[in-house]
Amino acid sequence: MNAQDDRVPQDGRFDYCPWLFEKEATPEQRAAQLAHQRRLTAATGAEIGDRCYLSPLAALHPDRFRLGDDSYVAAHAYLTGDIAAGADCTFNPFTTVRGKVTLGEAVRIGAHTSLLGFNHSTAPDRRVHRQPTTSRGITVGDDVWIGSHVVILDGVTIGDHCVIGAGAVVTRDVPDWAMVAGNPARFIRDRRDTRGRPARRPGGAEGARRGADLDARLADFAVAAREQAPALLARAWNGERYVDRPGARPTVRAHCDAVELADLLLGAPPAQLPAVAHVERLRAAQDPVTGLVPELGATLPAPAADGLVDDGAALYHVLSVGYALRLLDSAPAHPVRAVAGVTPRQLTDRLDRLPWADRAWHAGSWIDSFATAALWNLELGAEPGVPGTLETLFGWLLTRVDPWTGMWGRPARDSGRLQVVNGYYRLTRGSFAQFGVAVPYPERVIDTVLDHARDPRYFGGERENACNVLDVAHPLWLAGRATGHRADEARTWAEDQLDRALGRWREGSGFGFGPAPEGTGPGREPGLQGTEMWLAILWLLADLTGRSDLLGYRPRGVHRPEPARALTTPI
């Protein structure tokens, strides 16, 4: 029905601005609109809710039509097929909705937009006009704004709370809260992230071209990574347990990396096991006496004189197992008792003995594990240690930091600042970043890591590995939250690294960790550890350049940018 009925009192404002009808229509105009709706219902079987307005200038020829309360259809909208819309939905002028289309509540459809819930086959044996049609349908969630001149193709599902930018051509599903735009539509940012993008560095026309290229590559990578994630996880499953890559032995970390990777790209646990089985395996791996998790098939060494255990795998598992369980909406089965009984005096003695002079990374990693164990104890309602232990940790760190570098430890002749900077990342990740405490001397931190990032032994060509890039990117990101010091240089470095990192992705197998000294990483072959780490690195690099919204994910595990728990006691 699309002919103007001469019995409907005319007011062109309502046809093109139908939101005015409920407030401004006269009783005569309301009666005429209800009569129009009754005729439409009698002719098509339409179900129309209360306080709706349907312009007589709209072309409504549905097979089935249901419209919720407080909704409207403006002039020259063209609706055919099987259409269902919830309350507070709007079809603005010249909207086209065809095929099977289901809208949730509070969906706004801009003018000249098309939702095409059907398609033609394209077999070469007949002309297009004789091809059969197919229909998978379009589904749109609640609270969605679809801009003007958008095209949404058959088979697409748009989640709740989304924004579709004007002129977008939507060919793929859109997750909840996503803001997308472009042809084809690409992720712009999460609608909940209201911080906006930091300014891009200047660079003239060439810089603009490079920036646009990085934008496109990053968005395309995000799509490819999500599509390939199930195969990457299946590749690392040996039928019983997770391995870093085919042929490697099963490890606890591989299982945790699988959980993190699936959470980042799929928003769900890995499909090889039910979620409850993932939780059961990880919780069962914990030693009930110490609360630590040994490597598969290994036993924990005897504790040192102060009661603390020095086992590299078990200490890292405090991070990896704890965060994997958190992503699975669970928690460790037992407190980390190896930490719970430590007194402030024992802690300061241990901190003093850590190898700051020549192995600052090992010192920082110990603090990372200790502080994270204290976090899980707090989460379980247990003491993080003897009262005053966490305050002692931060007090020791704040009084031992070098005010000239913002770091702990000293450079070495043979490795430069590598141990110091890498140790800074591990130390601050578990302490300042994890508990939401501001790092000291952020400007000096940025000076130090930018100086280290120019070291040709570790950066440039094919020399970067995931550990070394992460351990610069995170301090730049963390210290950059507190200061704009040398922000353009940090963005330039991050943009260069982002460009190189995207080229390391291997179709169907993910990222390799990268070249590393013997025994310090899994190597160049792609696997779960390299993939999980580089995905987190890409987010940090992208955020430093104002592009993280193009990825459509935000790390929530070991490499999460936000604090896991804010301390309530002032430091």
pLDDT in tens, 137-156: 999 999 999 999 999 999 89
Tens digits of per-residue pLDDT, 385-411? 667 888 999 999 999 999 999 999 988
Q: What are phi and psi of 377, to 5 degrees?
A: -65, -40
Tens digits of residue pLDDT in 428-471: 999 999 999 999 999 999 999 999 999 999 998 778 999 999 99
Q: What is the DSSP-derived secondary structure letter of residue 407?
A: B
Distance separating alpha carbons of residues 290 and 155, to the nearest angstrom:
52
- Mean pLDDT value across residues 284-291: 92
Summarised one tens digit per residue, pLDDT across range 168-215 is 999 888 888 888 888 888 777 778 765 444 444 445 555 555 566 888
Please, which pLDDT band fits residue 570 given cuts at 50, 70 and 90? very low
Separation of alpha carbons 40 and 37, rounded Å: 5
Q: Inform me whether the pLDDT recorded for 4 exceeds 60.
A: no
Name every residue whose Cβ is closer than 8 Å to that of residue 95 and which is 6 or more positions away in sequence. 73, 74, 77, 78, 79, 109, 110, 111, 112, 113, 114, 115
pLDDT at 379 over 60: yes
- Does 334 participate in catalysis according to the annotation? no
Cα 208 from Cα 351, distance rounded (Å):
48
Asked which of 4-13, 14-23, 216-225, 487-496 is least confident by mean pLDDT, the reply is 4-13
State the pLDDT confidence band at 33, using cuts at 50, 70 and 90. very high
Q: How far apart are CA 317 and CA 286, in angstroms?
A: 9
Q: Say if residue 563 is preceded by a cis peptide, omega within 30 of 0.
A: no
Sign of CA dihedral 440, 444, 446, 452: negative
Q: How confident is the model at residue 519 (pLDDT cuts 50, 70, 90)?
A: low
Q: Is the pLDDT of residue 303 over 90?
A: no
Residue 567 has pLDDT above 90, yes or no: no
Cβ burial of 376 (10 Å; 0-12, 13-18, 19+) is: buried
Mean pLDDT, range 265-281, rounded to an integer: 95
| pLDDT tens digits, 223-239 | 999 999 999 999 999 99
Longest dimension (CA), the chain: 96
77 phi, psi to nearest 5 deg: -65, 145
pTM of the model: 0.67
d(CA 470, CA 486): 19
CA dist 142 and 365 (Å) reads 45
**Which residue in 120, 129, 278, 452 is the catalytic one?**
120
- Report percent pLDDT > 90 for the chain: 68
Q: State the Rg of the chain over Cα.
A: 29
Q: What is the arithmetic mean of pLDDT over 337-349?
A: 87
**What's the pLDDT score for residue 343?**
87
What is the reported pLDDT for 197? Answer: 46
Instruction: Give 314-325 pLDDT, tens digit per residue.
Output: 899 999 999 999
Question: Torsion angle, CA of 444/449/452/454, rounded to 10 degrees?
Answer: -110
Q: What is the mean pLDDT of the chain?
A: 89
Q: How confident is the model at residue 134 (pLDDT cuts 50, 70, 90)?
A: confident
Neighbours of 413 (CB within 10 A): 5
Report strand pairing: 133-134 vs 119-120: antiparallel
Q: Which of the residue ranges 98-112, 230-244, 298-312, 476-490 would you say has the lowest mean pLDDT?
A: 298-312
More confident residue, 520 or 363: 363
Minimum mean pLDDT among 11-25, 191-205, 377-391: which range? Answer: 191-205
For residue range 88-131, list pLDDT tens digits in order: 999 999 999 999 999 999 999 999 999 999 887 777 777 877 87
The one-letter amino acid code at 265 reads: L
Residue that wins the pLDDT comparison between 561 and 207: 561
In the predicted structure, residue 3 carries a pLDDT above the cut 60 = no
Higher pLDDT, 369 or 568: 369
Between 180 and 241, name the one with better pLDDT: 241
Q: In 3D, which of 24, 114, 120 has the Cα closest to residue 76? A: 114
